[in-house]
Structure 1
Amino acid sequence: MLVETFGNDGLIFLVAFLLLSGIVAAKFSSRLGLPALVLFIAVGMAVGSDGLGIIYFDDVELAQFIGILALIIILFEGGLQTKWSTVRSVAIPSISLATAGVLFTAIITGSAVYLILDVTWLEALLFGAIVGSTDAAAVFATLKERNIKAKMGATLEAESGTNDPMAVFLTVMFIELIISDESNLWMLIPSFFWQMGIGLVLGLAIGKLAYKAINKINLESSGLYPILAVSFAFVTYSTASFIDASGFLAVYVAALVIGNSELTYRHSIFQFNEGIAWTAQIMMFIILGLLAFPEQVFQLSNIFAGILISLVLIFVARPIAVFLSTIKMKYTLKERLFISWAGLRGAVPIVLATFPIVAGIDGADQFFNIIFFVVLTSALVQGSTISNVAKHLGLMGPAKDTPHHSIELISIAKANAEVVQFQTNRDNAIVGKRLHEIDFPTKSSIAAIVRGDELVTPYGDTEIKAGDFLYILVSKKYHTQLMKVLNNKNKQAK
């Protein structure tokens, strides 16, 4: 339909325009104090039929498909960037928040919806299920550049990466109970444990297969390795979906395994996936913005209902769910309050809101419009104040030190070697030593040292300092031995 309207050349220009608009929105989002997703949605609504009228888009099924594809990419990138050493300490509370927390949120929010809207109990609980989970795209993007303490960031990212299965299960379950007289709650519950269990196992298995394949296969071009990695994300999701397991959970777990393994062309893979995740996020939120018609979303009745439901969700349902889900867990009152406030809603609720429309449930359009408003409210109110809330509660961490430099080999197939990037810290045994004093393995050599914004030429007398980024050329055969030397701790740290 779009090709018929704009022609091939016009459509290409339109895609370029939307991407550029999204990039400009991302650039100015931090200056405006707004999450980027709000501006992406605004771009979509602006060029839609109720805005400038450039694009008329009402294909719910296509929007759902694009949303799922984008979420796969975003979850995969988020899992790659997540350190298992940090997540491991918060695994139990994150899983509790991702399961019991979503259920509590859905029940409490659904109860409010039943009182606010003229709907049945099942329809109200369906609404609660749709907005019950936090959103990986919103959480990853919001926390990425903010200096939140590692424990808080890990808890929120792990929760948002693993709570989609519960939200999807509850949404599908309530849709089936509404449209089918033969559906039985007790028959549907075992499918949840199947989805979670098999999704977890499949993610672990494909993740291990993926990083072994990436490390062992010799490709002629270094640019193929990032494509190979993201291909495994789609393989993981589709394989899980074929056997009725949770594709989203499987993708996140597989990415965790891959990202925490010793990986060939690690920097290229991470950089590529970060770029494609931004692209997916921009296009997904713009498409969802196109799908929403401002004239309908911002009707007074929808605004009134949306504000009431948002208040319940933000100030009642989410806090109660967090406190109940983390009982007897090692979180302070301030940490629980922050987790409650940082439960952002985003693309997942909007994508899930298309499910009742596709299923043909009466009143689904109204649900979509109100849910859209709730997501905007969450992003505007919570997303724009996360840093201030964290600062007020004393939960800000150290400034993030992200390298803006890289060294890559052109073809690993010909060299059978790689450049390892490693950042030192005060606990590393090599800190304070000169290069000639360090027992580096055979066939390894320091290619460069980056200290702050300065490039340090490595000599035998060059002293390693905490915070240095080391770029080491090493034969793949000696990679493991090199990592043992680099990760060795000094006696005080032990």
Structure 2
Amino acid sequence: MSTVDLAVLTLAIVMALGVITFLFSERTGISYVPILILLGIAVGPVLNLVDRTEAHQLFDYARVFGLVIILFAEGHNLKWTLLKKHFATIGVLDTLGLLATVLIAALAFSYFLHVPLAVGFLFGAIIGATDPATLIPLFKQHTVPEDMRSVIVSESIFNDPLGIVLTMLAIALLVPQADSAKLIEWIAQFTSLVPAAILYFLYEVLASVAIGVAMGLIGYRLIHVFHLEPFPEVYSFALAFGGFAIGEWAQASGYLVATVIALVLGNHELFFPREDRVERASRVITREHHFNETLATLATVVIFILLGAGIDLQNLWSSLWVGIAVALVVVFVARPIATLSILPLRRWSLRQYGFMALEGPRGVVASALAGLPLTLGLTYHDQQMIGWGESILAVTVITILVSVILETLWIGALNRRWLGAEAGREG
């Protein structure tokens, strides 16, 4: 079978499994994330219906394409009014909270697997972001109050690209020959490594936001200049991937650029209130958003199933108990400590804090990044990195499964007992 035929067959299997998964998830109310991963493991290393090498190769493309589409689609859902209202909470969670999660996960991974802390930091960065693809349908199903839903979902949308930035930073420290390390290596010529890392992170965030805002503004203007109503889907593709490419060319985060572009377009009625232009822009943006949400669903299916199909089953079993231990630290230690950072704001009750602390599942971004260390090890023929990469991949999969399964199981009870009580008290 040719390489092209093998790729087509693999994608056909993946999509068929996606249909089965969504039908099962809809009828049972069980989150589709763990089902997709487990089915990927079943058709990959267990039944060998999907070749592991082919899964890795397709995953490398799906990771980039899928993340851009997912973040671009989710960026439209960020409401500026709610972001302003909860700016302090979201900002603290996506800075201090994210960093606390990364560091605690890093310490747990390094301790349990007896690897250098830098390797643990790479794992922590990969697993640090929470998952909007899991949270959004989960919160709709259980009718979580709007303020709580907006904060946790907005946090997860923003910490996705920020987690990617931290991952690139960790890779730069571990694999200095990688392309993503060039900027930090250049900065480090003029200062020591720690200040270079801080400057690198600040540049990545600030440059990405600036590029995203500029391209969002340009993208909105072009809707009226070229009358794009007949083909908004094609236009949005060009805008999302053009923004990603420019961000990467500028050594910033293309993923964060795509997210900010979508934020600007999704809130165009607030940012560009001219009545004679709002209706046309709304038609174009609504159509392209629906289209990209469909693509984001397809990308999610591909990423999770290929993640499972690319697993080394022997390594997964050998890492099982260690992975569960790390996952429990992430769920019961890292996330609650990370959300402690919002308590000084005195904005949320202890019940609301408890809900935030226990609802931070890991998902699509962690899945998309999980195979990157192994890919870098194979690319640069670094046997030590290959070994670390296998461990990171296995423990990431286990952590995603544990966090999604646990937090899906208890969300109904938490919502009724804690948020229902709060809603009753406020009423």
Provide TM-score, normalisation by structure 1: 0.73
CA contact under 8 A between 2:233 and 2:287: conserved in structure 1? Answer: yes
2:396 is aligned to 371
For 2:295, the aligned partner's letter is: I
- Kindly tell me: are residues 99 and 65 of structure 1, through their superposed partners in 2, closer, same or farther at Cα, counting changes over 3 Å? farther
Are 1:302 and 2:298 an aligned pair?
no
Residue aligning to 2:336? 319
SS at match of 2:86: helix
Task: Tell me if the contact between 1:236 and 1:251 (Cα under 8 Å) persists in the aligned partners.
Answer: yes
Q: Tell me the amino acid that sits aligned with residue 278 of structure 1.
A: T
Q: Which amino acid aligns with 2:308?
A: G
Would the aligned equivalents of 1:58 and 1:291 in 2 still touch at CA under 8 Å?
Answer: yes
Q: How does 1:125-274 map to 2 (within 5 A)?
A: 125-179=121-175, 184-219=193-228, 222=230, 224-261=231-268, 262=278, 263-274=282-293
Partner of residue 346 from structure 1, selected from 363, 368, 387: 363
Q: Identify the structure with the greater helix proportion.
A: 2
Question: Which stretch has the larger CA shift, 357-366 or 304-313?
Answer: 357-366
- The one-letter amino acid of 1:286's match is I
Q: Residues of 1 paired with 2:73 and 2:404: CA distance?
A: 21
Amino acid at match of 2:389: A
- Closer/same/farther in 2, CA of residues 256 and 395 from structure 1, 3 Å limit: farther
Deviations 1:50-86 (A, max 9, x none): 2222111235464233112111111111121332222
1:267 and 1:166 mapped to 2: Cα distance?
26
Question: In the alignment, is residue 337 of structure 1 matched against residue 344 of structure 2?
Answer: no
State the Cα distance separating 1:145 from its structure 2 match: 4.3
Give the Cα separation in 2 of the matches to 1:207 and 1:395.
38
The residue that corresponds to 1:467 in the other structure is none
Change in Cα spacing, 1:215 to 1:264, as seen in structure 2 (3 Å) is farther
In structure 2, how many angstroms separate the alpha carbons of the residues matched to 1:42 and 1:71?
A: 21
| C-alpha distance in 1 between matches for 2:12 and 2:66 | 18
Give the Cα separation in 1 of the matches to 2:16 and 2:141.
21
Overall identity of the aligned pairs, in %: 27
Q: Deviations over 1:250-280 (max 9, x none)?
A: 2112111111223234442232222111111
Where structure 2 has 5 or more consecutive residues not aligned to the other structure, the ranges are 178-184, 269-277, 378-384
Please give the per-residue CA displacement for 1:90-116, whole angstroms capped at 9, x wherever unaligned.
Answer: 222212211211111111222222332
Q: Closer, same or farther in 2 for the Cα pair 1:119/1:70, shift >3 Å?
A: same
- Say which structure is richer in strand: 1
Partner of 1:476: none
Q: What is the number of equivalent residue pairs in this alignment?
A: 389
Cα offset, 1:12, TM superposition: 4.4
**Residues 358-437 of structure 1: matches in 2 within 5 Å?**
358-360=375-377, 361=385, 362-395=387-420
**Gaps (5+ residues) in structure 1?**
399-494
Q: Residue 108 and residue 188 in structure 1: after superposition, are their counterparts in 2 closer, same or farther (change >3 A)?
A: same
- Cα distance in structure 2, aligned partners of 1:354 and 1:18: 18
Larger Rg: 1
In 2, the alpha carbon distance for the partners of 1:269 and 1:277 equals 12
> What's the counterpart of residue 310 of structure 2?
291
Using the TM superposition, give the Cα deviation of residue 378 of structure 1 relative to its aligned residue in structure 2, in angstroms: 1.0
Shift of 1:319: 0.4
| Residue of structure 1 in register with 2:274 after alignment | none
Please state how far the C-alpha of 1:309 moved relative to its aligned partner.
Answer: 0.9
Match of 2:93 among 93, 97, 100: 97
CA distance in 2, matches of 1:303, 1:16: 30
Report the alpha carbon displacement of residue 388 of structure 1 after superposing the two structures with TM: 3.2
The AA in structure 2 aligned to 1:52 is: L
Aligned to 1:27: 23
Q: Secondary structure at the match of 1:327?
A: helix
1-structure distance, mates of 2:343, 2:244: 30
- Name the structure 2 match of 1:440: none
Q: Secondary structure at the match of 1:343?
A: coil
Q: Distance in 1 between matches of 2:111 and 2:365?
A: 24
Indicate how the Cα distance of structure 1 residues 54 and 143 shifts in structure 2: closer, same or farther if over 3 A, else same. same
What's the CA shift string for 1:125-145, capped at 9, x where partnerless?
A: 322222122123333443354
- Cα displacement string for residues 429-473 of structure 1 (whole angstroms, at most 9, x for unaligned residues): xxxxxxxxxxxxxxxxxxxxxxxxxxxxxxxxxxxxxxxxxxxxx
Cα separation, 2, equivalents of 1:67 and 1:238: 15
Structure with the larger RCO, 1 or 2 (CA within 8 Å, 6+ apart):
2
Deviation at 1:242, TM superposition (A): 0.9
Amino acid at match of 2:201: F
State which of 46, 50, 53 in structure 2 corresponds to 1:55.
Answer: 50
Conserved? CA contact 1:114–1:121, under 8 Å: yes
| 1:68 counterpart SS class | helix
